[in-house]
Each structure stands twice: as structure tokens, then as C-alpha cells.
Amino acid sequence: MRQVRFTLYDRLVLIPVELVYVLFPWLLLALLFQFWPAVAALLAGVVLFPLLLPWLPGHNFSPKGWILGGLVTLPFAIQSLANGPALSWLNLTWVVGILLAMPALTAFLALNFTGSTTFTSRSGVRAEMFRYIPAMVWSFAIGLLMIIGSLVIKIGGWHV
């Protein structure tokens, strides 16, 4: 039986396509607002994910993307905890918001690569989408609300 290989070069070729269609508009927006966790999550989903695909734990692409997004976002959360007021509710809201929203963004971008691999089937991709997209949406929405809420409170000067 013939084996089909999906080498590092094959995965590397996919990155420019994703850069053009997905990354540039969102990256420009994230850079405009200087929201570095979003920049890291976008780059992780578009550049790092296809390169690290075989070595990320798990079978489905969404959990692999979630893990990668969490690893990339974690330094920003740690830095925010270290530089902010010790265990203030506003700082914790910001950190939890980042840790909910950014890995979900990376996981969603990871789904883009399911159609370009040799080891996914149409029914498997569909099952993965129905299984993980609701969790991604909820996680991203709650995290984004926490991030926006903490920014509004901080900018408005209402925090204690």
C-alpha cells in the first residue's frame, strides 16, 4: 500500500496562503491597537501550527491549536500578573480574558489546515467542527467581554 507523506516542506508551503487571506487584516488590526497577545495568537495559528502539527499532542486539530494558543498566550498572562497590582480583580479579569479568548482564536485558525492534510476526512472535519466550534465561540466571546470590560474600567478610572 502506498503511503502519503505530509512533510515539513509541505506544511511550510501552506503558510503564505494563510498569511495573505487570514493574517494580514487581523494582524494589522491587532498591531494598530497594540494588542500583543492577539498578535501572538494569530501568528501561532497561521505560522507555528502547521510547522508543529505532528508534535502537538492530541488527535484533532482544534485541541492542538488550543494547546498551542495557550502556550503562546501564557507569557503575556504571567507578565500581566507580575506587572499589575497584586491579585487585583481587574488584573485577574484581564488575565482570564486573555487566557480564554486567545487560545480559542488559535484553535479556530488551526481548523483551516484540516483540508490541506493527508490524514483528515470530510466526515472527521465536520465532526470536529460541530464538536469544538461552539466551545471556541463561547470561550472567545466570554474572554473578549472580560478583556473589553477590564479595559473600559481601567480607561474610565473606575477601578479601586
pLDDT of residue 120: 66
Residue 95 near residue 80 (C-beta atoms within 8 A): yes
Kindly report the number of other CB atoms within 10 A of residue 74's CB atom: 16
Residue 40 has pLDDT above 80, yes or no: yes
What is the C-alpha separation between 98 and 84, in angstroms, rounded?
Answer: 14
Q: 123 versus 145: which is more confidently predicted? A: 145
Give tens-digit pLDDT for 88-127. 888 899 999 999 999 999 999 998 887 666 566 777 788 8
Residue 41's alpha-carbon distances to 44, 47, 54, 129, 155, in angstroms, are 5, 10, 19, 20, 24
Tell me the per-residue pLDDT of 44-87, one tens digit each, with 9 for 90 and over. Answer: 998 999 899 889 998 888 999 999 999 999 999 999 888 877 56
Report in angstroms the alpha-carbon separations of 108 from 49, 67, 89, 136, 150.
11, 12, 29, 7, 24
**Residue 3 reports pLDDT greater than 70:** no
**pTM to 2 decimals?**
0.83
DSSP characters for 31-95? HHTT-HHHHHHHHIIIIIHHHHGGGSSSSSHHHHHHHHHHHHHHHHHHHHHHHSSTT-HHHHHHH
What's the confidence (pLDDT) of residue 124? 77
What is the per-residue pLDDT for 122? Answer: 74
Of the pLDDT bands very low, low, confident and very high (cuts 50, 70, 90), residue 135 is very high
Q: Per residue in 14-53, is it b (16+ CB within 10 Å) or e — as a string?
A: bbeebeeebbeebbeebeeeebebbbbbbbbbbbbbbebb
Residues 107, 136: contact at Cβ < 8 Å? Answer: yes
What are the residue boundaries of the structural domains of the chain, listed by start?
Answer: 8-156
Q: How confident is the model at residue 23 (pLDDT cuts 50, 70, 90)?
A: low
